[in-house]
Amino acid sequence: MCAMIIVATFPAQSAPLILGEGEAVMGRFVQARYLRDFDKPILSEGEFFLLPKSALIWLTEIPFFSRMIIVEEGLSQGLKGAEVTRLSFKQFPGFKLLRDTLENSLSGNWAPLEEMAEAELLPVDGKYTLRFSPKTNGLTLPFAYLNFEIGDFLETVEIVKSNGDRDVITFSDQQVAPVAEVSAAVENSKEKQP
């Protein structure tokens, strides 16, 4: 009698992309904000630009044009070319953690997030997930936890607040390019706004 054993091999799940030195990323986003007492989410969409160790820029196009620039020291938001909000991370250090978390996740730098959350990326259906609930040592955070879904790039982040409100940001059309090229795209995006 002869027995045949068939061994099936499946391709290994590829790791998320990590930006290299001198690289940046840009793409599109859709944000759905779910607030208690509202039947439907508030939707916004636009472009984002990540210049690692420099700036994360949200250019919202819908429902109205606005520009938010998040740098190491804080954030500023503008409408029609005028600054309407400025927030220093010295006043609100929990927002700096959110900024660093978004930069690390958009650039594919998952190791510091895994370390802070004391969790690892989990492979699920050809992608990865991570629940980010950092140990804060008394730091007040603008979120209770974050849920990430990752393919080659960060695809979705769910920002869940302690009151039950949540934002779901979906990223698409992500492109890695040299920092100079993404910086030029940022400058060109200014022409889009009224």
Give the domain ranges of the chain.
26-192
Q: Residue 40: what residue type?
A: K
Predicted model pTM: 0.86
In this predicted model, what pLDDT tens digit does every residue of 33-80 receive, in sequence order?
999 989 999 999 999 999 999 999 999 999 989 999 999 898 888 887
Confidence of residue 192 (pLDDT cuts 50, 70, 90): low
Q: Which long-range contacts (CB under 8 A, 24 or more apart) does 116-121 make?
A: 121/16, 121/150
Give the CA distances from residue 78 to residues 54, 70, 190, in Å, rounded to whole numbers and listed in that order.
Answer: 18, 12, 11
Choosing among 3.10.129.10, 3.40.50.720, 3.40.50.300, 2.50.20.10, the CATH entry for 26-192 is: 2.50.20.10
